[in-house]
Structure 1
Amino acid sequence: MIVPADFLRALADNGVSFAAGVPDSLLKDICAAITDSFPAERHVIAANEGAAVGLAIGHHLATGRPALVYMQNSGLGNAVNPLASLAAPEIYGVPMVLMIGWRGEIAADGRQLKDEPQHVLQGQVTLPQLELLGIAHRVVDAASDPAEAVRWAASEALATSRPVALVVRKGAFAGYALPARRQASPHTREAAIAAVAGALPADAAVVATTGMASRELFELRKRDGAGHDSDFLTVGGMGHAASIAAGLALAQPERPVVCLDGDGAILMHLGALTESALRPNLLHVVLNNEAHDSVGGQPTAAGRLDLLTLAQACGYRHIARAEPAEAGAAIADLLAADGAGFLEIRCGRGARPDLGRPDRTPAENKRDVMAFLQETAR
């Protein structure tokens, strides 16, 4: 395996002194090492992958050196615009080193490794996407020499004035743990989700964000024998749950719609809140643990922001903050109010080790939710 310290040393040896990106579970060890080792002025955990590319462009303009931009392969979609319309040699020609975690990777023999549903197609198209964009790339695994891989990437990026990519297979990096940080709250996210679910009317539709929140909601319904037909689990597409909820609320204005979101997710596409805030039948619940909890626990900007002030500025009519024990009363008040509501519930990082995954496919989930929406339409 690649020792994270060896990879960081290779970056320094090749003049790569700035890093930006969105954490990924497959890259969690090297992301943790970067977070722990780089000073704040040389590392930014970006709101989304496109923003990370923008930071890398700015760094190059000021220093003449390439930056490291890290992401999961699902984040390539956010990065394509600035990669193709700004960094490409046909435009500004900006060198940078992309480090991309290959979820749903294709093995050397052509088999696709088993992964979650949202990573199947993305895993198949990762290398073709890079080829289509004209981004030279190499696949990195546990046997790779980090010094050679980084030397190639940095020298190729500088020589061609373009982004290049290191596509990282699962298990490439040895373990690295971040030092313990204070918890945002002593309450678990699962307790917060249970409090929210228990306070909703029977006809409420729930759109849950990707990651642990959807898994915990599914487990809660399964434990209670409540069924899953009112819950749309946004298993991929981080940051888009609010827009999905807004579209649903717009189509069924008489139905209460609840978006169960995370702090990292809302920050990824914060502008979407200006639209969801216009839906008077929408309640946006943000579970804020100040972390990218599903992919390694790296901090988000939510630890230094007032989300209620942001929500109010985006247009939400009614805002509140509550502990899980108070969530039921807060939800009742917000649903009864005239206008879109925003509720922040602070919770701690982490999940129980035996947390399961949904045993229904995304297609089955979609079918169940559509049936529920039609059968209970007012």
Structure 2
Amino acid sequence: MIDPDDFLDFLTRQGVVFFSGVPDSLLKELCQAILVNPQVAGHQTACNEGAAVGIAMGYHLATNTLPAIYLQNSGLGNVVNPVCSLAANVVYGIPLLLIVGWRGEILPDGEQVSDEPQHRLQGQVTLAQLDVMNIPWCIIDGENEIPCQQIRGLLDKARAEKHPVALVIRRKTFSPHRHPAIPAPTNPYPLREGIVEACLKLLPQAVPVISTTGMLSRELYELREKRHETHERDFLTVGGMGLASQIALGICYGQPQRKVVCLDGDGAALMHMGGLTNCAQSRSLIHIVINNGAHESVGGQATAASGLDLALIAAASGYRQVNVALTLGQFQDALRAALAGDDSQFIEVKCRPGHRSELGRPAATPQENRHQFMSFLATSTEQSTRAREEGYV
């Protein structure tokens, strides 16, 4: 395996001293090295990968140096527009280095490494996406030493041709970082799993839940198991970080007669924060953001939300009813009020980082989840309509 400090030292010696991006589990050791390396001139965790490209472009314009953007390959979709419309050599011509964690990687023999469903297609098309954007690349793995000559060649090409290049990082490339991770500050807030459980205790049977990607959806799935409940009321947004709230909003438009709950995370809410202005227009959406100030699923790196008042941002975005909860009791009071309300609702729940070490993953496939969820929406809608027609509600 490659020592992440040695890898970063090599890059900084080549003049790559500024980094921005969205944390990835395959790159968490490198991210830790970036935080403590004295040769790094600047670093900014971005709300999304496209924003990271913009930040890096600005740094290049100010310094005439070659900056780096780190990301999971799932974030390449957010990169396409700023690379093709701005950084490409046929537009502004900005040299950039993309450091891409390759989830769902393809082995040299053509076999795909087993990974979660949301990474399978993305893993298959990663190199093709780079090719389509005319981004030269090389693959880095932990079986070999740092390919210094290849990387130097790519960096020279980026500078000469004024265009992005990429390093594609296989899993288990980097060894554990020699310095311990900076511990998250302690706080008295509840854990996320306790918040999700408190939510389930209050929700009526007819209310669907759309949960964000990462640990939250895994906890929701296991809590249903613990409560001996089925899973058809929950749509687990296992990929597409930041889009759970927009999926929930679409359900609100499709079935305006019912309340819809979105269980969101702070990093996800920040990734496509403009979506708050759309959600705020729904009279039936209850948007719950559990804010632990961290990208917990990919290494615990801090998000900007650790120092932000998300509820204030939500109010400015147009939500009619906004609450902040610091305890489970406050959260349940806010949720009761939201269920009884008749307009857009936003609840920020403060949370401390952490999750169970034995936390599992959903046993159902995404297709099974979709089928069960759609059947629930269709059946419960028919029941609600029939009840109204017969005068029961």
Instruction: Please give the TM-score of this superposition, normalised by the length of structure 1.
Output: 0.97
Q: Which residue number corresponds to residue 141 of structure 2?
A: 141
Letter of the 1:343 partner, please give it.
I
Distance 1:230 1:370 in 2: 9
Aligned length: 378
Distance 1:33 1:338 in 2: 49
The verdict on how the C-alpha distance between 1:350 and 1:98 changes in structure 2, with shifts beyond 3 A counting, is same
Mean alpha-carbon deviation: is it higher for 268-277 or for 182-191?
182-191
Q: Which residue number corresponds to residue 174 of structure 2?
A: 173
Counterparts of residues 114-133 of structure 1 (less than 5 Å): 114-133=114-133
Distance 1:40 1:214 in 2: 35
Shift of 1:198: 1.1
Shift of 1:153: 3.1
Counterparts of residues 50-129 of structure 1 (less than 5 Å): 50-129=50-129
Shift of 1:41: 6.6
Q: Which residue number corresponds to residue 389 of structure 2?
A: none
Shift of 1:49: 0.2
1:283-318 CA-to-partner distances (Å, cap 9, x unmatched) read 000110000000000000001111011000111111
Distance 1:302 1:122 in 2: 28
CA contact (8 A) 2:17 2:41 kept: no
CA contact (8 A) 1:208 1:231 kept: yes
Identical pairs, percent: 49
1:149-188 CA-to-partner distances (Å, cap 9, x unmatched) read 5423322211211000000000001112422120354421
Q: Which residue number corresponds to residue 375 of structure 1?
A: 379
Q: Which residue number corresponds to residue 3 of structure 1?
A: 3
Distance 1:281 1:152 in 2: 55
2:364 is the alignment partner of 1:360: yes
Distance 1:40 1:96 in 2: 16
Shift of 1:147: 3.9
Counterparts of residues 1-378 of structure 1 (less than 5 Å): 1-37=1-37, 42-142=42-142, 143-145=144-146, 147-176=148-177, 177-322=180-325, 323-377=327-381, 378=384
Letter of the 2:306 partner, please give it.
G
Letter of the 2:161 partner, please give it.
T
Letter of the 2:260 partner, please give it.
V
The verdict on how the C-alpha distance between 1:374 and 1:58 changes in structure 2, with shifts beyond 3 A counting, is same
If asked which structure has higher relative contact order (CA below 8 Å, sep 6+), I would say 1
Distance 1:91 1:157 in 2: 14
1:219-258 CA-to-partner distances (Å, cap 9, x unmatched) read 0001111110010000000000010000001111111100
CA contact (8 A) 2:101 2:168 kept: yes
Letter of the 2:166 partner, please give it.
A
Mean alpha-carbon deviation: is it higher for 135-144 or for 319-328?
319-328
Distance 2:331 2:39 in 1: 38
TM-align CA RMSD: 1.4
Distance 1:195 1:37 in 2: 42
Distance 1:158 1:319 in 2: 49
Distance 1:220 1:329 in 2: 21
Shift of 1:210: 0.3
Asked which structure has the greater CA Rg, the reply is 2
Letter of the 1:4 partner, please give it.
P
Distance 2:119 2:172 in 1: 17
Mean alpha-carbon deviation: is it higher for 313-322 or for 206-215?
313-322
